[in-house]
Amino acid sequence: MISFTSDYTEGAHPEILKRLQDTNFCQEPGYGEDSFSEDARSLIREALGRPEASVFFLVGGTQTNSTVIDAVIPHYGAVIAAETGHIAVHESGAVELSGHKVIILPSHEGKMAAGDLQSYLETFYADAAWPHMAHPDMVYISFPTEYGTIYSKAELEAIRKVCKEYKLKLFIDGARLGYGLESPSADVTLKDIASLCDVFYIGGTKVGALCGEAVVFPAGDAPEHFFTIVKQHGALLAKGRLLGLQFQALFTGGLYFEISRHAIEMAALLKKVFERRGIPFYIDSPTNQQFPILTKEQMDALDGKVLYEIWGKLPDGRFITRFCTSWCTAPRQIEELDSLL
């Protein structure tokens, strides 16, 4: 059985396991004050070209989203997301648990349009009743999006401009950041991401780590008492070394980018498997998530041999599916899929 259901079906990149092994008996302080975390923070600052950046390691994506949002905006603040955004759909109301409303805007293949944002905010402030409404203080976008699409530099700049005009913070969910940056369609780099937002994170869980997300405040302006906030959100790992050493591994010798690139190459192969058969895609994704539209017959052919996700059913009876590649996908897995179809 081969699984393309997600990019977190395996353990971790071997380099991470090796480092776990090598450092196992080093005694280190907890809560991110270990030497591995310290080193990982330096490596990330270096990769960003920003010695002033604040870097923190949290465990998972939903946790990071709710903690960062709650830390950065006032308690009464609302966060604006595309209606397909992870915080709007798949976090069981984690953002609301801390008291923040998620305001949704239309999704354009997973992306928020700067024009929609501008228009929402214009209408908001034009309404005399706005003080009776949840106050928008942040924009949340994902790069790449939940549909595998990526924002162009121009799109990010346009959103950033609106945010500045209306004094909203811009937060980029980078749970799959590597897969976005290494897409041949991407015209932004990690440094651009850091320049274009107030806070973002570099996803580890889906890009080769056992767990871990590196939160970055590029300007070094982490909220006061962020450590305490992280703890309050249950997001502070006692053995912070586990997070530190993983990001240390991923940001040594460009491993993070290299394995992201691999996933993108595998996605290109995967894409061809479907294209060759004239199988259409629900969305034209340039990253590691692919959304082929399969017939019942095609699905039957894979039954019991290949796993993937079903995202919806079309009126004509075909299914929208999701196939993910990852840092770990092997060419032979795609060949096997090819032979089965």
Q: Tell me which residue of 257, 256, 250, 260 sits closest to 289, measured CA to CA.
A: 260
| Beta carbon of residue 153, minimum distance to a copy of itself (angstroms, whole number) | 29
299 and 340 Cβ atoms separated by less than 8 Å: no
Nearer to a copy of itself, 14 or 253 (CB): 14
Q: 143 Cβ partners below 8 Å, 6+ apart?
A: 150, 151, 156, 172, 173, 174, 177, 180, 193, 200
Residue 169 CB, shortest distance to a copy of itself, in Å, is 15
Q: Concatenated DSSP letters for 284-321? A: ---SSEE-BEE-HHHHHHHTTTEE-EEEEE-TTS-EEE
Question: What DSSP element (H or E) covers 118?
Answer: helix 114-126
Query: Is position 202 an interface residue for a copy of itself (rule: CB under 8 A)?
Result: no
Residues 280-319 interacting with a copy of itself (rule: CB under 8 A): 307, 309-310
Site residues for a copy of itself, 134-193, by CB under 8 A, read: 134-135
Contact by Cβ (8 Å): 271, 338: no
Give, as ranges, the residues between 234 and 263 that touch a copy of itself (CB under 8 A).
234-239, 241-242
Nearer to a copy of itself, 73 or 194 (CB): 73
The residue count for binding a copy of itself (CB under 8 A) is 82
Closer residue to a copy of itself (CB): 108 or 135: 135
Across-strand partners of 103? Answer: 80
The answer to whether the CB of 68 falls within 8 A of the CB of 217 is no
According to CB under 8 A, which residues from 1 to 30 bind a copy of itself?
1-3, 5-6, 8-12, 14, 17, 20-21, 23-30
State which of residues 93, 184, 278, 315 lies at the interface with a copy of itself (CB under 8 A): 93
Whole-number minimum distance, CB 88 to a copy of itself, in Å?
A: 9
Site string for a copy of itself, 46-65 (x = CB under 8 A): -------------xxxxxxx
Contact 55, 41 (CB under 8 A): yes
Burial class (CB in 10 A: 0-12, 13-18, 19+), 83: middle
In the range 98-137, which residues lie near a copy of itself by CB under 8 A?
A: 98-102, 104, 128-129, 131-135
Binding mask 216-235 for a copy of itself (x = CB under 8 A): --------xx-xxx-xxxxx
- Our CB check for a copy of itself shows the closer of 47 and 328 to be 328
Q: Which residues lie below 8 Å from residue 273, measured CB to CB, with a gap of 6+? A: 334, 337, 338, 341
State the minimum distance, in angstroms, from the CB of residue 241 to a copy of itself: 7
